[in-house]
Amino acid sequence: MGVSIKQIAEIAGVSRGTVDRALNDRPGIKPEVKKHVLEIADSLGYRSNRAGKLLGLHKAPMSIGIQMPSEGNDFFEAITAGQRQAGSELGDFGLRLYWRTMKGFSARRQAQQIDELIEEGVQAIALVPIDHQIIHEKLAELARKNIPVITFNTDIADSDRICYVGNDYLKSGATAAGLLGRLADGREWRVLVLTGSVSMLGHNQRIHGFHSTIKEHYSNIKVVDIFETEDDDDKAYQICREFLSPAAAAGGRSVELPADAIYLTAGGTAGCCKAVIEAGLAGVIKIISFDRTPSMEQYLADRVITASIEQEPYLQGYLPVKMLFDYLLDNTRPPACSWTRNEIVISENMNQSARFTEK
């Protein structure tokens, strides 16, 4: 169909091997020959053929490394499923995936696992970067070594990653506010904010985006308090229990609610739900949360959680692998940011797409 290496070789009066050297920046070719070949390729509008490349991979198969803080964190299950799917689809083309996972957010541990991946010989890395000097330096080192990096779920400023795949946390906060504003429908509502940690950028952005939107459009909504759950269900349960105790003590009698809604920016949702149910306030106090873990499923189905905003975790696993593969294969450049959607999930639309999980 298109132009092939063979044709370029004929026209340039060199061998296919030399054309290959020129096109793929391989060593051992005279600069002027390279220039000549590239000019011809250019004038012919040469684009390498994927089928040929794919089959040509047979020796020197590709390997990609993945590093993430997924241990003990249910949220990463869907991400892992996406990575596995990409690995299996591309396995036919020889791709090998190497995982390094950790519990919690240690920059030193992350740096160490990145080193391990390099030693395994991976040609590219996808990771959830920790915002720490050590990691900044490590990413600079990867850039020097010509190992392309894609960040997912969380981005890191001023690094040389070729792409970020994940949420825009400001917009996800705005989405939560937009939803809550529509629910309040002009009524004066007071909102309790439960965040994961005030030192997590993403969590803060979800608060910030929320604030901006209510400030601009929903002056009837007020934030009454902010607490940290440390992404922990027990902690969230304790906080909510205490917060709700006046209303709970009142039993059936009507007292003013301590809040009309609870907005959770991160983990701890199931604990919060438990406390709300125990206080007899399920469905009365609206709960807006993010993501979806197994422990949240039932609360979503039962409408204890009014809505949860998901961020396409499966794609956050799938896309980085796919993009790195394409990049290594024929230099296909992904966009600098591939935003995942903020999906508003309620009980009625929570179980629909078997597409991603069934295969």
Partner DNA sequence: CTGAAAGCGCTTACAG
- Contact residues toward DNA (CB under 7 A) are 1-2, 4-6, 13-18, 20-21, 23-24, 26-31, 33-34, 48-49, 51-53, 55-60
Task: Go through the chain and tell me how many residues it has.
Answer: 359
Report in angstroms how near the CB of residue 328 gets to DNA at its nearest: 10
50/359 with CB nearer DNA: 50
Phi/psi at 34 (5° precision): -55, -50
Q: Residue 101 or residue 212: which is nearer to a copy of itself going by CB?
A: 212
Beta carbon of residue 4, minimum distance to DNA (angstroms, whole number) = 4
Residue type, 258: P
Between residues 26 and 222, which has the closer beta carbon with respect to DNA?
Answer: 26
Return the residue of 159, 175, 195, 316 that touches a copy of itself, per CB under 8 A. Answer: 175
The interface region with a copy of itself, picked from 134-142, 192-200, 272-280, 342-350 by CB under 8 A, is 342-350
Stretch that binds a copy of itself, among 53-61, 73-81, 134-142, 246-254 (CB under 8 A): 53-61
Could you tell which of DNA, a copy of itself, none binds residue 144, using a CB distance below 5 to 8 A set by kind?
none
Cβ nearer to DNA, comparing 332 with 357: 332
Position 347 contacts a copy of itself (CB under 8 A): yes
**Interface residues toward a copy of itself, by CB under 8 A:** 1, 49-52, 54-55, 57-58, 61, 92-94, 168, 171, 174-175, 177-179, 182-183, 185, 213, 217, 303, 306-307, 335, 337-344, 346-349, 352-355, 358
